[in-house]
Amino acid sequence: MRCLGELEAAVMQVLWEEPEPVKVRDVLERLDTGRSLAYTTVLTVLDNLHRKGWVQREMESRAYRYRPTRSREEAAARMLGQVLDASGAPEVVLGHFAASLSAEHARILRTALRERDG
């Protein structure tokens, strides 16, 4: 799973906010990018997201309905993992990350690590 471009991220935000799969037209109507977009532009973005594994699609009549393959939180966790993998020095990155955490976020991280370790 690769990181998202600006428009891809905006499309994913729309999909994560919708409880049911949506058509291209629905995504286009809900997008708030500050610029006018063509239907075909949103269709292309959704096709790219499908190819990258970010969304699933199902045919309904003659149009696809799209939905995310993972939650916003799962996607964020995977992207963090990719950043660590790409850094070449995950221990350094994690050290900087840990130092930057608020007390509350550090508590949440400690709890998650304890739960993981059983």
Each of the 118 residues of the chain gets a pLDDT tens digit; together they read 457 889 999 999 999 999 999 999 999 999 988 889 999 999 999 999 999 999 999 999 999 999 999 999 999 998 888 889 999 999 999 999 999 999 999 999 999 999 999 8
Provide the residue ranges of all domains of the chain, joining segments of one domain with +.
Answer: 6-68, 72-117
Question: Six-digit token pair at 62?
Answer: 């003659």
Burial zone of 91 (CB within 10 Å; 0-12 exposed, 13-18 middle, 19+ buried): exposed
Contacts of 87 (CB under 8 A, 6+ apart): 93
pLDDT of the residue at 32: 85
pTM for the complete prediction?
0.80
pLDDT of the residue at 4: 85
Class for domain 6-68, per CATH?
mainly alpha
pLDDT of the residue at 2: 58
Give yes or no for a contact between 82 and 30, defined as CB atoms under 8 angstroms apart: no
Contacts of 6 (CB under 8 A, 6+ apart): 33
Name the β-bridge partners of 65: 58
Tokens 């949440």 identify what position? 108
Give yes or no for a contact between 54 and 68, defined as CB atoms under 8 angstroms apart: yes
